[in-house]
């Protein structure tokens, strides 16, 4: 999968894309990441990429000409790729949206800056608009990193046999169950007996129950969106009794 990132600050991406899962995915040639400096498409000798907003007000706005030229240059090379803007007004990034984006042949991610981009660029070129949440970042670069990371781990072959995107939080709509490793006792707390039993069915049931418990306690809104199985309902009833102090 091709990721083309249009940014005013390409240097910000050096560290995050050279480590861990993304680095391995690049080495396996499962993904390709190209950085494009928007200023390279500026039409003046000062490589101006922003200007004061019409109507006045604080801050600057990213100019239409260099941004449009940059998008068109990359789109000409990768006509099947989807142009994605990073913006607080976009769709909030979720596991479902990351899985949707992972089905695309490529993404052209435009990193907003300052007060935003000239709205005409959004109207003419944007095919999707993604936000990390209801807060404002200094620019879209961090959002672009998050999109690339979330999408990359869902591409077949990226994660090894010891890793699984399906078992991650939100993979099945629930928060992930708690994890433990050696030693068996730490700080006066012990590993749950089910995980030490060697009984695969007991371990599976414990993990499902704890996923339901964590989701119920921390993100009950997620439960309301799921079609729960008969086993899930039984486990939730057990959790209710346990939390109420019953047997």
Catalytically annotated residue among 115, 172, 176, 238? 115
Catalytically annotated residue among 16, 24, 78, 88? 88
Distance in angstroms (rounded) separating the CA atoms of residues 62 and 126 = 15
Catalytic residue at 79? no
For residues 91 and 128, is the Cβ–Cβ distance under 8 A?
A: yes
* C-alpha dihedral sign at 56, 61, 67, 71: negative
Catalytically annotated residue among 113, 153, 213, 216? 153
**C-beta neighbour count of 76 within 10 angstroms:** 8
Catalytic residue at 227? no
Catalytically annotated residue among 65, 128, 129, 168? 168
Distance in angstroms (rounded) separating the CA atoms of residues 184 and 77 = 54
b/e map 80-93, b = 16+ CB within 10 Å: ebbbbbbbbebeeb
Catalytic residue at 168? yes
Chain Cα centroid distance, residue 37: 23
Distance in angstroms (rounded) separating the CA atoms of residues 139 and 6 = 12
Beta bridge pairs of residue 91: 130
Q: Show which residues are catalytic.
A: 88, 115, 153, 168
């Amino acid at each position: 999968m091709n990721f083309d990132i249009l940014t005013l600050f390409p240097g910000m991406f050096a560290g995050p894309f050279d480590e861990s899962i993304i680095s391995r995915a690049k080495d396996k040639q499962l993904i390709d990441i190209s950085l494009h400096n928007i200023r390279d498409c500026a039409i003046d000798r000062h490589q101006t990429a922003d200007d004061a907003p019409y109507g006045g007000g604080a801050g600057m706005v990213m100019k239409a000409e260099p941004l449009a030229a940059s998008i068109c240059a990359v789109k000409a090379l990768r006509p099947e790729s989807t142009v994605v803007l990073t913006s607080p007004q976009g769709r909030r990034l979720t596991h479902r949206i990351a899985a949707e984006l992972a089905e695309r042949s490529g993404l052209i991610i435009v990193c907003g800056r300052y007060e935003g981009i000239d709205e005409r660029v959004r109207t003419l070129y944007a095919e999707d608009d993604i936000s990390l949440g209801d807060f404002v970042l200094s620019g879209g670069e961090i959002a672009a990193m998050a999109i690339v990371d979330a999408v990359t781990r869902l591409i077949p072959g990226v994660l090894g046999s010891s890793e699984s995107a399906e078992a991650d939080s939100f993979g099945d709509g629930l928060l992930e169950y708690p994890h433990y490793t050696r030693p068996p006792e730490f700080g006066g707390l012990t590993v749950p007996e089910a995980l030490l039993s060697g009984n695969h069915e007991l371990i599976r049931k414990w993990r499902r129950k704890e996923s339901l418990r964590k989701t119920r306690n921390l993100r009950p809104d997620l439960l309301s969106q799921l079609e729960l199985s008969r086993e899930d309902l039984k486990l939730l009833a057990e959790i209710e009794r346990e939390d109420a102090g019953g047997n």
